[in-house]
Amino acid sequence: MTKAPDTATDEQLVVLVLRGDRDRFGELIGRYQARLVNYLYRLLRNLDDAHDLAQEVFLKVYQALDRFDPQYRFSTWLFRVAQNAAIDQIRRQRLKLVSMQRDGMGGDEPHEMDFPSPTPTPYGDLRNSERGGAIQAAVDALPWEYRELILLRHFSELSYEEIAQVKRLPLGTVKNKLFRGRQMLKERLAEFRVD
């Protein structure tokens, strides 16, 4: 088989894999693994879970590769699958946590419904922590809709158009939300610097 040049696009690599060149899928993994693991890590807040889920996402994508629609970009498809998988996992974790809280507390008082995190979230606790923790906390403190866009832009390195496709949002909305999200992020990081 003729080897494609190293500059083959993602879509060309998909075609080669579908023609039977299985190893080419490794190139796609190599291109996206860092972005995908980082994206999932910021959503799940656990590096092992992020690696496991990233692996699951690649396996899902491989199995459905023949259903890839070449009118979209591979990155868009990959991150949409990843986003859905992450949301499912977060839901499962929340359900587990709620069930644990019910078992442990027994009362009807409202409790914060969030999943366990290895990093502290309240800002006050971050004064002496590392910068990475502050960034994580600042990102975590963003409302979900803004957080996702910031992650897709900065960690997944998707363009506005790709983000619009992944999120099924109009381009203008993506721009505005990214703008707002960044403003919030800057404000929160500034608060940390002041602290």
Task: List the interface residues with other proteins, window 120-179 (CB under 8 A).
Answer: 131-132, 135-136, 139, 153-155, 159-160, 175, 178-179
Q: At what angle do helices 144-154 and 160-167 cross, to 10 degrees?
A: 140
By CB under 8 A, residue 66 contacts other proteins = yes
Beta carbon of residue 66, minimum distance to other proteins (angstroms, whole number): 4
Tokens 């909305």 — which residue? Answer: 173
Q: How many of the chain's residues bind other proteins (CB under 8 A)?
A: 45
Q: How many CB atoms lie within 10 A of CB 115?
A: 18
Beta carbon of residue 107, minimum distance to other proteins (angstroms, whole number): 30
Residues 6+ apart with CB under 8 A from 78: 32, 36, 57, 61
Beta carbon of residue 108, minimum distance to other proteins (angstroms, whole number): 31
Helix (H, G, I), strand (E, B) or coil at 160: helix
By CB under 8 A, residue 71 contacts other proteins = no
Rounded Cα distance between 97 and 108, Å, is: 15
Beta carbon of residue 110, minimum distance to other proteins (angstroms, whole number): 30
Q: Output the CA torsion sign for 92, 154, 80, 56.
A: negative
- The footprint of other proteins (CB under 8 A) covers 18-20, 22-23, 25-26, 29-30, 33-34, 37-38, 41, 47-48, 50-52, 54-55, 58-59, 62-66, 131-132, 135-136, 139, 153-155, 159-160, 175, 178-179, 182, 185-186, 189
